[in-house]
Amino acid sequence: MTDTTEKPAQAVATKETRGTNQTGMRAQNERLVLTLIRRHGALAKAEIARLTGLSAQTVSVIMRSLEDEGLLLKGEPMRGKVGQPSVPMRLNPEGAYFLGLKVGRRSAEMILTDFLGQIIARRKQIYAYPDFSDVLAFSLDAVDKLRLSLPADQRPRIAGLGIAIPFQLWDWARMIGVEPGKMAAWQSRDLLVELSGALDMQVYLQNDATSACSAELVFGTGEQPANFLHVFIGFFIGGGVVLNGTLFTGPTGNAGAIGPMPVVDLGGKTRQLMDLASLVVLERRLTEAGLDSGMLWDSPEGWDVPETLLNEWTAEAANAIARAAHSAMSVIDFEAVKIDGWMPENLRNALVRDVRARFDGLDFTGLERPVVETGTVGADARSLGAASQPLLGRFLIGYTI
Mean pLDDT of 222-246: 94
> What secondary structure does DSSP assign to 351-367, as a single string?
HHHHHHHHHTTS--TTS
Three-state SS for 251-295 is CCCCCCCCCCCEEECCCCCEEEHHHCCCHHHHHHHHHHCCCCCCH
Give the distance, in angstroms, between the CA of residue 238 and the centroid of all CA atoms in the same chain: 11
Mean pLDDT of 70-86: 76
Residue 183, domain extent: 97-208+383-394
Burial class (CB in 10 A: 0-12, 13-18, 19+), 201: middle
Distances, alpha carbon 270 to alpha carbons 264, 265, 323, in Å:
4, 6, 11
pLDDT digits (tens, 9 = 90+) for 14-27: 334 455 544 445 58
CA atoms in the 13 A half-sphere facing the CB of 134: 17
pLDDT digits (tens, 9 = 90+) for 90-142: 999 999 999 999 999 999 999 999 999 999 999 999 999 999 999 999 999 99
Strand residues in 106-182 grouped as ranges (E):
107-113, 119-126, 158-165
Cα-based angle 246, 401, 385 (whole degrees, multiple of 5): 65
Instruction: Establish if 157 belongs to a structural domain.
Output: yes
75 close to 42: Cβ distance less than 8 angstroms: yes
One domain, residues 51 and 105: no
pLDDT at residue 397, rounded to an integer: 84
One domain, residues 228 and 359: yes
Instruction: Establish if 15 belongs to a structural domain.
Output: no
pLDDT at residue 81, rounded to an integer: 54
From the list 241, 278, 230, the residue with the least C-alpha distance to 381 is: 230
Instruction: Establish if 8 belongs to a structural domain.
Output: no
pLDDT at residue 348, rounded to an integer: 97
pLDDT bucket at 177, cuts 50 / 70 / 90:
confident
Residue 256 gets the label, from left (phi > 0), alpha (psi -120 to 50) or beta, of: left
Instruction: Establish if 2 belongs to a structural domain.
Output: no
Give how many domains the chain has, as a whole number: 3
One domain, residues 305 and 359: yes
Instruction: Establish if 31 belongs to a structural domain.
Output: yes
pLDDT at residue 82, rounded to an integer: 56
Give Cβ neighbours of residue 374 (< 8 Å, ≥ 6 apart).
338, 339, 340, 348, 349, 352
Residues above pLDDT 70, as percent of the chain = 91
To the nearest 10°, the Cα dihedral for 164, 167, 169, 170?
A: 150
pLDDT exceeds 90 at position 175 = no
The CATH number for 136's domain is 3.30.420.40
